[in-house]
Structures are given as structure tokens and as C-alpha cells.
Structure 1
């Protein structure tokens, strides 16, 4: 059986993986879907020190204290920044990296730089609460921004989104051992609509062709959970087709 660590994206929490987590656990696998510092159920713990490094360190600590090894490490959206950093800092604990419609950063690149067209408009709505610069203020209809069209599911998600510390998006990712991190196998599960903005040849080359797409909204772990689970089970089983 495999061990999965599922890292959420901006404005989300571990809650967004519930449909995926239940299915993987029902198949006998171990699943961790933490809410990153300041996110999800930790939103009342926001402070100015929460940035990309804080989120990376939190997942690295989870791997250490739970003594997790050969992990299938999954990151959605902004979570691609986090899992790249985690795999760089704890490569001995990672068996496979999975980018779930996720950022795929270069060394020294922030999410703001990496996905400028999507993130800079978000920056324009930056606001400050209790000394913390925040973006993605929760509001009715935010689920539509993430491609959730089912009304019931959209309401459920809208009730759970939390603000995102801007420092997570603005801090550059600094890799310490990029060669070792890149040697860890990787896969990309993406939404068809995001293909035009991606360096697809690079993804295919670095993943040895392990790139799959599905025609759904950005929050594919909510809109197409069974498809995501099936692909993750392929990864765990070493299947590439």
C-alpha cells in the first residue's frame, strides 16, 4: 500500500481533498492531507511570518515526525511550489512528485513570477488584517474562480475558502539540491484548459511522458475526484499508460 501526502493550493485547506482522501483510504492507502499554516482550520493562527518557506517546512516536519518514506507527494496549484521545495529539502522521503494542475517553478522563482498573468490580478486586491498582507479574500462565488460549477459543491467550497498570505506567492523558491530533487520521478495531472500556458515539452521530457489531462475546472480534486484517484493509483502502482 502507498502513502500519499496531499498539499492544497492557495485559499484552500486539507478539506479540499476529502473526496480523494476517502477513496484512497477505502482502497487501503495511507493519506495525509494537512492544512498548511494559516490555512483551513488554522486560519485563526495567521501571522506575518507565514510564507512559502513556512509552508515547505511544515510539510517537511510532517514527513519527519510521522516518519513517512517513499511518499507520493501531491501538490495542487500553489501547492506545486510547496512540493517542489519539500522534495528539495527531504528527497530521501519522496518516491514520486505529482503536480495537480500545479505550479512547476524554476529555482529562484516566486509564484507571482511563475504565474504572473493569473496572480498579478489577485495582487491588485491585496489587503491587510492584523499586520498580515492577504489576498484571495473569501466571498460568495469564489468557487467559480476555481472552476467549480455545481451549485451545491460551489456553496460547500465557498464556505471553506480562507485568505492567503501574500508572502507565500511573492517569496522566491530557493532550491538547495536541485539535481537530486529533479531525479525523483514526477507526473503531471492537468486541466485541458491550462495546456496553452504550460511548457508541455518540458513537462513531458522531465516526467518521461507522465502527463495526463482532463477537461474540468482547476479544482479537479473536487470536480473529478475519481479521475484524480485513478491516476494517483496508477502512479502508486508504477503504471505509466
Structure 2
């Protein structure tokens, strides 16, 4: 069985994964879903990766799963703990040395961005049950921008099998955009799942099933 290491996105908490975590544990897997220090102005990507590595401890058979901006932290974690599989869900996919603040310009996001939404629920949680979406908003934290202009310490993509899973109804990261970035940066053709930007809340059972299938294909 695998240990799934679940990394949340910007301004969020490990609770984001709680429904997926329950599904994975019910199937016999171990789960680690730490809170990143995203509201700490003194913390940057190295500290985010350190927080994940500390939560992992000496566990092995690791499948690291990152959602959205967690994609900046995930490859750094692979340099700190022995990861067997990396899965990026509705992700940002960083280039070596890239600062998070530069991501949107570097990936030409403006050329493919969809409609704008002023409401966070409409943008991130359009297919999440209303009470659950409201709880997600209440649990969210301020995302510090203090160190987002710092280049990532990533020097090369880790030598770890990597899967990309995009969401067909994602209003933040349109399909064509994620497909192109995954192809250009990783040479990977993404898999697809129905739903918006937060499938761990809208489709936890389906997402857990995908993660378990990926792990099984990787030998876990």
C-alpha cells in the first residue's frame, strides 16, 4: 500500500483533501495532508517543501499529489523524501528557477484565460455542494505574496514518474492551457476528469479512484 502525500494549493489548508483522504484510507492506504505555511510572510517555497517533508517523516512508498499552486512545492518535496510517483491535479507546472509570481506571464496565461469571475465560489467551487463550498471558504487562509517573486530552488524536474490530471470544467485553468503547458514543460499528455478546479471537494470518490489506479500502475 502507498502513502499518499496530499499538497493543497494557494491560501488553503490540508482540510481541502479530507474527503479524498477518507476514501484513500478506506482502501487501505496511508495519507499525509499537511498545512503549508502559506500565510507566513517569512516562508517561501523551501519552507513549504520542508513542512511537507517534516509531515512525511520516515514514511516510504510515497505518492505525492499536488493541486493547483501546490505544483510549485511538489517537485521540491521529491528532493527531500523518496517519492515513487508524482501526480499534479488541476496544476500549475513550474519551470526550473521560476518564481511563482512570474508563472502567468511565462506560460502566456492571458492568451487562453477564460471568462473572469468576481465570486470565489463561481471560480473555484462551482460544482461543490454549497455548504461544503462555504466551509472551504471559511477555512481558507491569506496567501502571503512576500516571497512569491523569489526564483524557485528547483534546478530540474525530479526523476520521478509524473502524471497530470486536468479538470474539464476548470474555470481558472482552461483545458487547452493546461494541456499546452504540460506538453511544453513535461512532455506529458494529461488525463482528464469532470469537474471544476477543486475536484477533491466536488468528486472525491472519483479522484481517489484515479489516484489509486495511478499508484497501482506504478507498482504500489
Gaps of 5+ in 1: 40-45, 120-139
- In structure 1, the partner of 2:114 is none
- Of residues 172, 177, 183 in structure 2, which corresponds to 1:202? 183
Describe the superposition over 1:10-51 as per-residue Cα deviations: whole angstroms up to 9, x where unpaired: 011000001100000011100000011255xxxxxx3x3111
Q: How does 1:1-241 map to 2 (within 5 A)?
A: 1-38=1-38, 46=40, 48-63=41-56, 66-87=57-78, 89-90=79-80, 93-116=82-105, 141-149=119-127, 150-167=129-146, 169-176=148-155, 178=156, 181=158, 183-192=159-168, 193=170, 194-198=174-178, 199=180, 202=183, 206-207=187-188, 209=189, 211-238=190-217
TM-aligned CA deviation for residue 61 of structure 1: 2.6
Contact 1:5 1:71 in 2 (8 A): yes
Secondary structure of the residue aligned to 2:163 is strand
- In structure 2, the partner of 1:136 is none
Structure 1 runs (4+) greater than 6 angstroms displaced: none
Shift of the 99–13 alpha-carbon distance from structure 1 to 2, 3 Å rule, reads same
> What is the alpha-carbon root mean square deviation over aligned residues?
2.6
Q: Normalising by structure 1, what TM-score?
A: 0.76
Contact 2:93 2:181 in 1 (8 A): no
Shift of the 212–55 alpha-carbon distance from structure 1 to 2, 3 Å rule, reads same
Secondary structure of the residue aligned to 1:159 is helix
Describe the superposition over 1:106-156 as per-residue Cα deviations: whole angstroms up to 9, x where unpaired: 11112221234779xxxxxxxxxxxxxxxxxxxx95333313343222212
Q: Distance in 2 between matches of 1:237 and 1:144?
A: 35
Contact 1:147 1:216 in 2 (8 A): no
Q: Which has the higher helix share?
A: 1
1 or 2 for the larger relative contact order (CA 8 Å, sep ≥6)? 2
TM-aligned CA deviation for residue 185 of structure 1: 0.3
Secondary structure of the residue aligned to 1:167 is coil
Shift of the 38–200 alpha-carbon distance from structure 1 to 2, 3 Å rule, reads closer
Gaps of 5+ in 2: 111-117
Q: Distance in 1 between matches of 2:29 and 2:47?
A: 27
